[in-house]
């Protein structure tokens, strides 16, 4: 879910909470507390959703290359292979 979609959905959800509070006859303070509570719950849910999406994502080729490089020890390098301490970002 993209951030703009999330923000639009959150605004609509909070508007529903405000309308519900108005129809319920709640005081201004109660309405504000309901809106804050709803906003916090939505933020926690969005954070957990993004966390799960990142945790479930497959490793990229760069991740696999980095893991392979880490598993390669100095004693496992070929005789003529020169190991450089300077690494390229690319």
Question: How far apart are the C-alpha atoms of 9 and 26, rounded to whole Å?
Answer: 23
Q: What is the mean pLDDT of residues 8-17?
A: 93
- Apex 75 CA angle, 73 and 76, nearest 5: 65
Query: Could you tell me the pTM of the whole model?
Result: 0.58
Q: How many residues does the chain have?
A: 90
> Contact 18/35 with Cβ under 8 angstroms?
yes
pLDDT in tens, 59-68: 777 777 777 7
pLDDT in tens, 13-28: 999 999 999 999 999 9
Give pLDDT, residue 13: 93
> Contact 49/57 with Cβ under 8 angstroms?
no
The more confidently predicted of residues 9 and 65 is 9
Q: What is the mean pLDDT of the chain?
A: 81
Domain locations along the chain: 3-70
């Amino acid at each position: 879910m993209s951030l703009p979609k999330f923000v639009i959905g959150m605004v609509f959800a909070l508007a529903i909470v405000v309308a519900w509070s108005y129809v319920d006859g709640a005081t201004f303070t109660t309405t504000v507390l309901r809106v804050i509570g709803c906003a916090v719950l939505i933020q926690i849910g969005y954070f957990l959703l993004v966390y799960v999406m990142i945790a479930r994502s497959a490793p990229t080729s760069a991740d696999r290359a980095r893991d392979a490089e880490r598993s390669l020890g100095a004693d496992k390098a070929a005789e003529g292979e020169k190991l450089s301490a300077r690494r390229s970002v690319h």
